[in-house]
Structure 1
Amino acid sequence: MIAASGTREPRRLLPVARTVAAAALSLTLTTTAESSTASDQTALFRIGTGGLAGSYYPVGSVLAAELTDRLGVTCRVDCPAQPLFAVAQTSNGSVSNIAELAARRLEAGLVQADIAHWAYSGEGIFSNGSPMQELRAIGHVYSESLQIVARADTGIRALADLRGKRVSLDEQGSGTLIAARLVLEAHGLTETDLEPRYVKPDLAIQKLRAGTLDAFFTVAGAPTASITALADDLQITLVPIEAAAQAELASRVPFFLSALLPAGLYRGTEPTKSLKVGALMLTRADLNEELVYQVTSVLWHDDTYAALQNGGAPVRRDMALNGLPLPLHSGAKRFYRETGLLR
């Protein structure tokens, strides 16, 4: 565990304005593949996240801001030779972040554990390509839940009720889309049984509120702030995953675990059977060891941890090494050994 320095107020979970400004500034910065040599340049550290209404973007935004504060031009103590500027980049989600990491357009990315496993092993949705053996883990950040959100006035109470309904499965490139297809299959449905839409959760929420969408799938930390806000304006229901389907999916995809969304997770919602999966921070093996060591240190710094916890992200330091389907980066491994989490 890294002790917090100072007594500053933990930053908010979703510093949108700051992150937009950071994205604009990042266009002027220089990045290198190794991010460790040009001490007279500022290294850009890009974190792939997801849509604005999910949990990846706010989590990535907090981490980017903390990295820039502690390793960037405003750093005061134990500063790196090359200042770092970190930015959270919106994306289509886990599958997209894997592709961007492989293409060296990201230095790190948030990815569902099942997607990380398939990418590293060349299985599942990645079976047509070569295993991405260059991927490495920084750690398991938190667990996220599959949530199927419906307007209460549609009468949707079970998966079978989605038949013929306007349902968003999230965008191509998202881990949610993969999970949604597996869940539908486990309940004897396919996309053709629905009126499918493929939009990000933020747009899905807008459409649900406007009455032009009946339900949407999302995989995110629960509760999700954007869904909490939706439930304050509109009566919603959470659609359960049947117990038999939970068991089948958990046996087919070992990184899917049965979960129960508690009563009152959102205004008026009942206890709901669902699934959960780990949200991992990934990078590439060729990133500089010292850089990844510092990034891991900031990820688990008390200030970062407090900001994420206070913002509702269910981060757990004691679960940082749980269920990793691929090797740790050497820099992350050094951090966990020094802090006693890895022996």
Structure 2
Amino acid sequence: MGHGLSALSGAIRAMAVGLVLLSGAATALAEEISYFSIGTAGVGGTYFPLAGTIANAISNPPGSRVCEEGGSCGVPGLVAVAQSSHGSVSNVSGIISGGLSSGFSQSDVAYWAYSGTGTFEGQEPMRDLRVIAALYPEHVHLIASKASGIASVTDLKGKRVSLDKTDSGTYPDAVLVLEAFGLSKDDITVEHLAPEDAAEALRNDQVDALFFVSGYPARAITELAGTAEIVLVPITGPEVDGMLREHSFFTRDEIPDGAYPDMAGVGTVAVGAQWLTRLDVDEDLIYQITRALWNPATRKLLDVGHAKGAAVTSETALNGIAIPLHPGAEKYYREAGMIR
């Protein structure tokens, strides 16, 4: 009987030690993991799926297979997540407030936020915003129902038009486009709908047109094209000349034929999409994230993910940047010979 109790006591002690060891291992595991959020926009745009691909590429949680054996080539211990939001304006505010580790933004919104100009006129400049990389061009989509008869920007007069949420990147650009063509918000019936909601409203004849700044193909527009009679409206003409002179972040570009099912392409204007963070985010972390972003293994993920992934290249990583690079990103680009 004594031996039985002794054995039982020993087993209990062994179990206790095992639990302590497991607890310690779990604590160590928890300590090894750090989280890094990427603010995007609505799930129907390009930011969200592309950020998901990039988050996957830069993540490398404990227990992952090593890069050399076909496993993760991300930052050891990092778990990155794409987080939906209202878009660029919402993201820069979230980055500065600390609610987001990083986020995607249009180049114009990034510059306005940093300098306290444009849509941020009268606000405290967000001087701690920093760039990780330029990503790809984003096109101003102006979508109208065929039934509306809208064939140009000036045809929007008197129509019901969604300009997106006021804290999106689309909203300030839509206002600039209207102004370039001699229109103001007073000339239209304004709706402030997120892209997915705007697409649904257009499908149900509750709006005549919508603006959406996104890399093509944007899922919300692709799905709308499959269920409604819609057209892409060109943003072209002499009015655009003045717009480009006044706002150098815009470039002429086009949405090609077939970017959306059975839709003819149009000339339009574009801005750059950029990945931003905050100056006080650890320099070594951003260095490692930047290195992981441009790892050849990430190239494979980008090329098979969202169609816009192919446009995200190291060759264009520094294009159109009007605010400072994060020191960690700058260190990587200098080592890579991309900055001299």
* TM-score calculated relative to the size of structure 1: 0.83
Query: Does the aligned pair in 2 maintain the 1:101–1:107 contact within 8 Å?
Result: yes
Separation in 2 of the partners of 1:45 and 1:180?
31
Indicate how the Cα distance of structure 1 residues 215 and 286 shifts in structure 2: closer, same or farther if over 3 A, else same: same
Residues 170-212 of structure 1 deviation map (CA, whole Å, 9 limit, x = unaligned):
1121110000001011111111211211111111112222222
Identity of aligned residues (%): 40
* Structure 2 letter corresponding to 1:67: I
Indicate how the Cα distance of structure 1 residues 84 and 183 shifts in structure 2: closer, same or farther if over 3 A, else same: same
The counterpart of 1:333, out of the listed 320, 330, 334, is 330
Which residue matches 1:20? none
Which residue matches 1:49? 40
Query: Does the aligned pair in 1 maintain the 2:89–2:109 contact within 8 Å?
Result: yes
Aligned residues: 305
Once the 2 structures are TM-superposed, how far is the Cα of residue 77 of structure 1 from its aligned partner? 3.6
Once the 2 structures are TM-superposed, how far is the Cα of residue 342 of structure 1 from its aligned partner? 2.2
Query: Does the aligned pair in 1 maintain the 2:46–2:217 contact within 8 Å?
Result: no
Once the 2 structures are TM-superposed, how far is the Cα of residue 80 of structure 1 from its aligned partner? 9.0
* Structure 1 letter corresponding to 2:339: L
The counterpart of 1:117, out of the listed 98, 102, 111, is 111
SS, match of residue 40 in structure 1: helix
**Structure with a larger share of its residues in helix:** 2
Which residue matches 2:185? 191
Indicate how the Cα distance of structure 1 residues 80 and 180 shifts in structure 2: closer, same or farther if over 3 A, else same: closer
The counterpart of 1:170, out of the listed 164, 178, 195, is 164
Which residue matches 1:131? 125
Which residue matches 2:50? 59
Which residue matches 2:7? none
Which residue matches 1:223? 217
Once the 2 structures are TM-superposed, how far is the Cα of residue 41 of structure 1 from its aligned partner? 5.0
Indicate how the Cα distance of structure 1 residues 150 and 72 shifts in structure 2: closer, same or farther if over 3 A, else same: same
Query: Does the aligned pair in 1 maintain the 2:75–2:292 contact within 8 Å?
Result: no
Query: Does the aligned pair in 2 maintain the 1:236–1:268 contact within 8 Å?
Result: no
Once the 2 structures are TM-superposed, how far is the Cα of residue 111 of structure 1 from its aligned partner? 0.5
Residues 293-342 of structure 1 deviation map (CA, whole Å, 9 limit, x = unaligned):
12112222334333333321132321001110111111111222222322
Q: Which moved more, 1:289-298 or 1:220-229?
A: 220-229
Query: Does the aligned pair in 1 maintain the 2:159–2:189 contact within 8 Å?
Result: yes
Which residue matches 2:321? 324
Consecutive unaligned residues of structure 2, counting only runs of 5 or more, are 1-26, 68-72
Which residue matches 1:75? 64
User: Over aligned residue pairs, what C-alpha RMSD do you find?
Assistant: 2.2
Residues 23-47 of structure 1 deviation map (CA, whole Å, 9 limit, x = unaligned):
xxxxxxx9xxxxxxx9825322111
Separation in 2 of the partners of 1:309 and 1:205?
28
Separation in 2 of the partners of 1:105 and 1:249?
34
Once the 2 structures are TM-superposed, how far is the Cα of residue 163 of structure 1 from its aligned partner? 1.8
Separation in 1 of the partners of 2:136 and 2:238?
26
Once the 2 structures are TM-superposed, how far is the Cα of residue 263 of structure 1 from its aligned partner? 2.6
Separation in 2 of the partners of 1:207 and 1:307?
34
Separation in 2 of the partners of 1:299 and 1:178?
30
SS, match of residue 116 in structure 1: helix
Query: Does the aligned pair in 2 maintain the 1:39–1:83 contact within 8 Å?
Result: no
Separation in 1 of the partners of 2:303 and 2:204?
31
Separation in 2 of the partners of 1:249 and 1:297?
37
* Structure 2 letter corresponding to 1:240: P
* Structure 1 letter corresponding to 2:62: V
SS, match of residue 245 in structure 2: helix
* Structure 2 letter corresponding to 1:248: G
Q: Which moved more, 1:161-170 or 1:135-144?
A: 161-170
Question: Equivalent residues in 2 for 1:1-343 (5 A)?
Answer: 40-68=31-59, 71-77=60-66, 83-310=77-304, 311-313=306-308, 314-343=311-340
Separation in 1 of the partners of 2:221 and 2:63?
35
Query: Does the aligned pair in 2 maintain the 1:247–1:258 contact within 8 Å?
Result: no
Indicate how the Cα distance of structure 1 residues 215 and 74 shifts in structure 2: closer, same or farther if over 3 A, else same: farther
* Structure 2 letter corresponding to 1:206: E
Separation in 1 of the partners of 2:280 and 2:324?
13
Query: Does the aligned pair in 1 maintain the 2:163–2:212 contact within 8 Å?
Result: yes
Residues 143-189 of structure 1 deviation map (CA, whole Å, 9 limit, x = unaligned):
11001011112211111221222211111211100000010111111
Once the 2 structures are TM-superposed, how far is the Cα of residue 225 of structure 1 from its aligned partner? 3.1
